[in-house]
Amino acid sequence: MRKFLFISNGFVPPTPEVMDAWSQWFGKIGDRILDQAGLTSGRSFTEEGMKPLSTETEAATGYIIFTAEDLEAAESIVKACPIVASNTLHEIMTKEDC
């Protein structure tokens, strides 16, 4: 099994139906999840200084680290996540084998 990182950016409040479907999805993949979090605030920093991040547009709003056999299997897991409809951008990544 390989580890994958699923990152969500932006947020649109989900309906109760989407939240229920999301809970069911987590129940189906729960044994694959290694870590997860919803993110609410942060700052970006550059040589010019610090600035607050907006979770509405530019900041990561959540992540899930999970296992899957390969990228195609990971994509299937993420595509089945109903909360995808409540975010504006999604990325799925894995570390290349060394």
Give pLDDT tens digits along the chain (98 positions). Answer: 899 998 887 777 778 988 899 899 999 999 999 999 988 778 888 788 888 876 665 677 889 999 999 989 998 998 888 876 665 556 666 766 53
Structure tokens at 96: 């290349």
Tokens of 60: 């990561």
Q: What is the pTM of this model?
A: 0.78
Q: How far apart are CA 14 and CA 84, in angstroms?
A: 10
CB atoms within 10 A of CB 6: 21
Per-domain boundaries in the chain = 2-93
Supply the pLDDT for residue 88: 57
| Stretch (H or E) spanning 79 | helix 71-79
Concatenated DSSP letters of 12-78: -PPPHHHHHHHHHHHHHHGGGEEEEEE----EEEETTEEEEPPTTTTSEEEEEEEEESSHHHHHHHH
Could you confirm whether domain 2-93 is CATH 3.40.50.12780?
no
Contact 2, 68 (CB under 8 A): yes
